[in-house]
Amino acid sequence: GQQVQQSPASLVLQEGENAELQCNFSTSLNSMQWFYQRPGGSLVSLFYNPSGTKHSGRLTSTTVIKERRSSLHISSSQTTDSGTYLCALERNAGAKLTFGGGTRLTVRP
């Protein structure tokens, strides 16, 4: 089965609403990374979060290792937040990432 599962697969919001994206994993974890990808674009790292909670502007990432989950919270969404959000699991210190399938977010004005 898939080692990293993201939910929801897609999400549509009105501007100003909040979003909660989930990432669940079934293997041991060295760390979790969250990326943002514009349609047809490259990936931009949002968070490198092995455990606990990290904040960056309107974004918050929380990783709970014993529950094998990580979440990305987007507050007061903006149309420019539209795109795909990917979580990636670093299985061990060998630096290899396993990516989830992504959540495609659309924020409407």
Partner 1 sequence: DMKVTQMPRYLIKRMGENVLLECGQDMSHETMYWYRQDPGLGLQLIYISYDVDSNSEGDIPKGYRVSRKKREHFSLILDSAKTNQTSVYFCASSPRDRGGQDTQYFGPGTRLLVL
- Residue ranges binding partner 1 (CB under 8 A): 30-31, 33, 35, 41-45, 48, 50, 86, 88, 90, 93, 95-102
Helix (H) or strand (E) holding 6: strand 4-7
Return the number of the residue (18 or 28) whose C-beta is nearest partner 1: 28
Closest approach of partner 1 to the CB of residue 60, in Å: 17
* 3 state SS of 32: strand
CB of 12 to partner 1, least distance (A): 19
Minimum distance from residue 53 beta carbon to partner 1 (Å): 17
Closer to partner 1 at the Cβ: 60 or 101? Answer: 101
DSSP 37-103: E-TT--EEEEEE-SSEEEEETTEEEEEEGGGTEEEEEE-S--GGG-EEEEEEEE-STT--EEE---E
Q: Which of 62/84 has CB closer to partner 1?
A: 84
